[in-house]
Amino acid sequence: MLDRIHSIDARVRAYITLTPDLAMRQAAEADERLRHPDAPRLCGVPLALKDVLSTRNVKTTCGSKILGNFVPPFDATVVSMLRDAGAVTVGKTNMDEFAMGSSTENSGFFPTFNPWDLDRVPGGSSGGSAAAVAADECIAALGSDTGGSVRQPAALCGVVGMRPTYGRVSRYGLVAFASSLDQIGPITKDVTDCAILMQAISGHDALDSTSLQADVPDYESSLHADVAGLKVGLPREYMAAGVDEGVRGVVLKAIDRLTEAGMEIVDISLPHTEYALATYYVIAPAEASANLARYNGVKYGYFDPDSDGVEELMMNSRGTGFGAEVKRRIMLGTFALSSGYYDAYYLRAQKVRTLIKRDFDQAFESVDLIVTPTSPTVAFPVGEKVDDPISMYLSDVMTLPGPIAGIPGISVPCGFSQGLPVGLQFMAPPLGETVLLRAAHAYEQLAGVESATARKAV
Amino acid sequence: MLDSEVVEHVSRLARLTLSDEEKDKMRVELSKTLEHFRALSELDTSAIPPTAQVIPIENNMREDAVGDCLPKDDVLANAPRTRGDYIRVPAVLKAF
């Protein structure tokens, strides 16, 4: 695996930090554990971690210059859980700075490239993790999803990505972006691997006060339950204008496949879908502006050595340390929370959040699942949207509503348009991960896992 | 279009130094984005309660018991400037 990384990562640029010594030590321990018949499920499996996850004694930058030298004194709960399960961690993957972006071009260090076409973006913000999985630079990876940052890059890189229910997976040690929306999720080569990783990282954690007490089902055995008779809603708002023709065609064909498996497709409506983008881009920046207040050049991270007085130190450290998109969102969020604008923006967005959540609650009274495209387009060329924030924000339009309602979602590869991967998204009610995995697995079995590695650019 | 005073005021609230060029750019981009948000005011939300979070957990309390803490040296190792067991910052109060 390390050889593979060394041979191609100069072109893909999926990793910010590689930890070969740690990986070799963990591999040696795994060899030892594998001698015993009760070796854990992930024993010896090389995984990658998005650089938003705190790793003890391993630099954790969150894709930002402001955390360029930050070495956490602790592991995120998910990182400890993976290590307990025997995983080998090979490195920390690239991302949009503070997970703000949809292309990984907002990384404070360098962009990552799509393994299917190196002139295109891998999606984001977990673009490094998705590219690493697609390019076989790890077996699987963890990402984080605030508005689509696991599912959208998974779709654009032709791999599987799951966003669990809010509260299913501990967020302790995940560098906070928007705390009411952030979730950690797996990016894998197939749905079975996704179930195995979900098993390893799910469960209650006393260190995260928003962690759910719910029991963790056996995800892997749930893959094989029958899908015949499942009712799958197709929301008309998600097939409306804005979806690329090629993507629409591939997705509709995939949806036909679902009926072959005995699922019943039902037309539904989620009437407040068109308001999700604005709702998200008020709430997420507002929460981010509060969460990112901690980067002020005092306790950790970049500091401006020439400042006179503590306030100037804070203002200048932040002004130099943060990149353009992060500054944009801090300003947007601070504005939306500021006196005189709070009611018109933040409070109103929270009310519309209620309406969006109700849309899903009502839909799930009559269907078991919802199916949509994951992204309105395939991977776009590097540089195409970087100077147009709104058009960049629109690439998450299919994945934003789920987090607003706190529901889980999964993206599975469902074919190609212009020679580039297309993703099919399923969404389910809270804690509906088992039915998501079941449906995604059934689709994968019918469609056949693409043996298309050779067609990739790398 | 937002006034440049608003941009100035918000950057001050956010404790974020912006260059003049950044301020001009921010004014244009924020105005465009806020324009997009105007859609939210089309909806009648007068009778709708706000949603701040989506899970049925409130006031998640724990025992008020002393537990393990992170080692002091490890935590201080990330601070740009320290003195002894303290984090050092420039003067908070200015001399008159």
Domain residue ranges of chain A, discontinuous segments joined by +: 2-272+356-455, 273-355
Distance from CA of B6 to the nearest CA of A (A): 9
pLDDT at A167 over 70: yes
Q: A2-272+356-455 domain in CATH 3.90.1300.10? A: yes
Buried b / exposed e over A12-25, threshold 16 CB at 10 Å, is bbbbbebbeebbee
Residue A455, pLDDT score:
58
Which of the four pLDDT bands, split at 50, 70 and 90, describes residue A29? very high
pLDDT at residue A458 tops 80: no
* Contact criterion met (CB < 8 Å) for B39 and A331: no
Whether the per-residue pLDDT at A451 is higher than 80: the answer is no
Q: How far is CA A425 from CA A46, A160, A373, A453, in A?
A: 26, 10, 5, 22
Name the average pLDDT for chain A. 96
Contact B41 A390 (CB under 8 A): no
Find the mean pLDDT for residues A208-224. 95
The CA–CA distances, whole Å, from A102 to A121, A129, A153, A246, A410 equal 9, 13, 8, 20, 17
Contacts of A338 in chain B (CB under 8 A): 9-10, 13
Residue B86 with chain A: CB contacts under 8 Å: none
CB contact under 8 A, B52 and A180: yes
Best to test chain A binding among B33, B73, B85, B96 (most A CBs inside 10 Å): B33
Instruction: Number of A to B CB contacts under 8 A, please give it.
Output: 164
Q: Tell me the shortest Cα–Cα distance from A307 to chain B, in angstroms.
A: 8
- Those residues whose C-beta lies under 8 Å from the C-beta of residue A240, and which sit 6 or more positions away, are none
Catalytic positions of A are 50, 125, 149
Share of chain A above pLDDT 70, in %: 98
Long-range contacts from A314-317, C-beta under 8 angstroms, 24+ separation: A314/B15, A315/B15, A315/B16, A315/B17, A316/B17, A317/A66
- Mutation for A interface: B17, B18, B46, most A CBs within 10 A: B17
Least-confidence region, from A99-103, A109-113, A132-136, A239-243: A239-243
Residues contacting A116, CB < 8 A, separation 6+? A134, A157, A158, A379, A419, A420, A421, A455, A456, A457
Confidence of residue B60 (pLDDT cuts 50, 70, 90): confident
Model confidence at A449, in pLDDT bands (50, 70, 90)? Answer: low
Cβ-proximal residues to A290 (8 Å cutoff; 6+ apart), any chain: A333, A337
- Statement: residue A281 has pLDDT above 60: yes
- Chain-chain contact of A277 with B45 (C-beta, under 8 angstroms): no
Which pLDDT value is given to residue A452?
Answer: 52
Cβ <8 Å between B45 and A315: no
Q: Do A316 and B74 touch (CB under 8 A)?
A: no
Binned at pLDDT 50, 70 and 90, residue A278 comes out as very high
Beta pairing partners, A233: A266, A370
Min Cα separation B83/chain A (Å) = 13
Can you give the pLDDT at residue B96? Answer: 60
Q: Where are the domains of chain B?
A: 1-43
Among B23, B26, B89, the strongest candidate for a mutation testing the A interface, having the largest count of A CBs within 10 A, is: B89
**How far apart are the CA of A86 and the nearest CA of chain B, in angstroms?**
24
Query: A327 and B39 in contact by Cβ < 8 A?
Result: no
Which CATH number fits the domain B1-43, given the four candidates 1.10.20.60, 2.40.10.10, 2.60.40.10, 3.10.20.30?
1.10.20.60
